[in-house]
Amino acid sequence: MLIRVEDLSYTYAPGTPLERVALQGVNLEIGPGERVGVLGPTGSGKSTLVQHLAGLLEPTAGQVWLDGVAAHARTAAARARRQRVGLAFQYPEDQIFEQTVFREVAFGPRYLELGAAEITARVRWALEMVGLDSPAMEGRMPLTLSGGEMRRVALAGILAMRPEVLILDEPTAGLDPRGRRELLGRVRAWQEQIGFTLILVSHNLGELARVAERAVVLARGQVVADGSARQVLSDGESLRAAGLDVPQTVALLQALRQAGWEVRTDRLLPEEAVAEIVQAAKLGLAKSVSLRKPEREEARL
């Protein structure tokens, strides 16, 4: 599905004392199968934007097109397209309400008026995708599961709709490091296997660096950067101007560069930064690290 956002503006509570402009003239095009990270400080408009992509909000001005149809329109064509956009809000497990895991995951597909066999097949497939496939699990009460398991059940409910676009708003918030790693690994595997468009909203630059190939930065309701994840996430100046942190790998490489090292600064993952530093040291681009290092070590001893 092709998503086109055209001059999109949105104002909350217009004409009241609580009026607040959330989006101002946003333009964006996201093609099928792209992996896009969306970042920006609180209040920058990220959640407002993704709700427009799912057709949940009607633009104050401008338009969001899903394959050429206005996303929020009250037509059969628009509804069909909205059903192909899966949006997981922050803490999606808060919205779980069914009595069993099976019924919870089946809720969306039932709404699509599929046959019983197809619904069962989709629920089983979705639970397998999130790693919760077992007959015992299907009958469990969601509220007796751990937080991480509940989140996976909530995501299975969205996957069971077989979306062409999957939007995840801070999917790993509140999970511990292992839980975060596991969930992100799954998201990447789903994307590779199914090929849907992935839109990931996150404050965690490390996560974005691992999952997204393209990054869009919002600040004060406007797109202030849009490009390859590597380029956007290593542009310290514009990240800081948008009120965001600079990835620690980038900050380190920038500090080394200032000290005269010939290193690239667009290395976002710790292993990439290490490779860059080791290589620079080897090639003698680092003002003879290897010579000076031992002295310093001795001085410490």
Q: How many CB atoms lie within 10 A of CB 56?
A: 14
* Nearest of 224, 222, 218, 215 to residue 266 by alpha carbon: 215
Phi and psi at residue 25, to the nearest 5°: 60, 55
- Which residues, numbered 31-70, are part of the site for other proteins (CB under 8 A)? 41-43
Binding mask 146-185 for other proteins (x = CB under 8 A): xxx------------------------xxxxxxx------
Q: How far is CA 204 from the centre of its chain?
A: 9
Q: Does 248 bind other proteins (CB under 8 A)?
A: yes
Q: Does 244 bind other proteins (CB under 8 A)?
A: yes
Q: Does 13 bind other proteins (CB under 8 A)?
A: no
Taking the complex as a whole, how short is the minimal distance between the CB of residue 27 and other proteins, in angstroms? 24
For other proteins, the closer CB: 69 or 273 = 273
Q: Does 293 bind other proteins (CB under 8 A)?
A: yes
Q: Does 227 bind other proteins (CB under 8 A)?
A: no
Taking the complex as a whole, how short is the minimal distance between the CB of residue 261 and other proteins, in angstroms? 8
Q: What angle do CA 46, 47, 48 make, to 5 degrees?
A: 90
Taking the complex as a whole, how short is the minimal distance between the CB of residue 204 and other proteins, in angstroms? 10
Residue 228 host element (H or E): strand 222-228
User: Exactly one of 135, 271, 283, 291 binds other proteins (CB under 8 A); which one?
Assistant: 271
Taking the complex as a whole, how short is the minimal distance between the CB of residue 103 and other proteins, in angstroms? 20
Could you tell me which residues come within 8 angstroms of residue 97 by beta carbon, excluding any fewer than 6 positions away?
104
Residue type, 239: L
Take residue 117 and report the two structure tokens written for it.
């066999």
Sheet (strand 61-66) strand order:
20-30, 3-12, 61-66, 69-70
Which residue ranges make up the site for other proteins (CB under 8 A)? 41-43, 146-148, 173-179, 203, 206, 243-245, 247-249, 251-252, 255-256, 259, 261, 270-271, 273-274, 277-278, 281, 286-287, 289, 293-294, 296-297, 300
